Structure formats: structure tokens, C-alpha cells
Amino acid sequence: MKIVLSQFAIGRHFNPTFGGTKILLMTPEQVELRINSLAPVADRVGYADFCRHFFFENFSEALDGVAEITPENEGLLQSGYEARTPAELPVLSRWFSRKEVPVGKANFLDVIVYSREHCVEKEGMVVPEGVEWVVVSINSAPTPEESPMPPATMVRNALGPSEGGSGVPLSREAYLASVAYWSKWAIVK
């Protein structure tokens, strides 16, 4: 199996100002080498047939990316409208500041990949021949289980590629499960 990092993933996860999972002590090439040479500890089907989650024991310095919302830290939540790229619509998100809610090193990396076919046909990416999967995101995880996609991401996906999404329709059941999860947890950045 051959996996490469997308420019989208490189621009986020190797950027010290990115609010999500950061990998700053390795190059994108080193990460690609690692994920192509290691067997994942878990391989899960994602939210659509073209999406997979490959879980690896954390081989980087990446920290936990979420914290439980408690009565003690709830007042530290921040919110704002954010877009991942200039072409996307900003969506409302909330988070804890890493300075106020410290976290430890993550146990696992959830390497989220899309199939070559989807990336080429639906998202217009140029993907080298022989590549089967393209990394679109790397999330830290406490266990080798996928956390629900945030509700705003689900909405963006339903809007389609022109707004930065994948074009997968919104599932009411998955959306409500996401709301239940993200009502108890928040991203730490």
C-alpha cells in the first residue's frame, strides 16, 4: 500500500501556528516513510466509502488534541469563525487554549486518508501513479477509535467541494452523535 500526504495536510500539521495536531520535529517525508513502513494498529472505515482511518502508535511528538469539558474548565472555552483555507466558508468552532488547558503526548495518530480515485475525480488533486491513499488529516487520539467529525465539518462536507467539503450528504443520525460527543469534548489548540 502506498500513502502520500496531501498539500492540505502538510500545510496544516507541519505549521507551528495550526490549531490542531502538529508534527513539528519530523518532515512530511519522514512521516510518509513511517506510515508506509509501519502496520497500523487499527484500520477503520470512515464516513464514506472513499475514506479510511489508519491508527498508528504515536511515532511523533504530537500532543492530545482534545480535552473533556468539565465544570472547572468550561469557562475557558473560546469560540470564533474559522476557515481551513481562504477558499472555504468560515464555520463556528470552539476550543481550549493549550496555555490554559495543558495536555500530554497523544497515544495514537489517526491518519485519515481518501482514496486516490476520490482525490483525483472529485477533488481535482494530482496524485502520483501507484499511490492508493492520500492523507487529508492527522488527528491525535487517546485510543485507536475515531472521534466523531465535528458538526461544522459535516455541514461543510455536505456543501461540497466548492466550499471545501467532500460532497457527502449530511446524515442526521451521525450529526446528532457528533453533537453529543462535541458537547462534552473540545479541541485544544
Contact 139, 147 (CB under 8 A): yes
Homologous superfamily (CATH) of 1-65+104-147 is Protein of unknown function (DUF3228), domain 1 (3.30.2310.50)
- 50-104 per-position pLDDT tens digit: 999 999 999 999 999 889 999 999 999 999 998 888 888 888 899 999 999 989 9
pLDDT in tens, 151-180: 998 998 899 888 888 889 999 999 999 999
C-alpha cell at 120: 483525483
Query: What DSSP string runs through 79-101?
Result: EEEE-SSTTSPPEEEEEE-TTTS
- Residue 188 bridge partners (DSSP): 96
CA distances to 11, 138, 143, 162, 171 from 8, rounded to whole Å, are 5, 11, 25, 15, 25
Can you give the pTM of this predicted structure? 0.81
Tell me the domain boundaries of the chain.
1-65+104-147, 76-102+148-189
Residue 120 has, within 13 A of its CA and on its CB side, a CA count of 11
Neighbouring residues of 35: CB distance < 8 A, sequence distance ≥ 6: 3, 54, 56, 111, 135
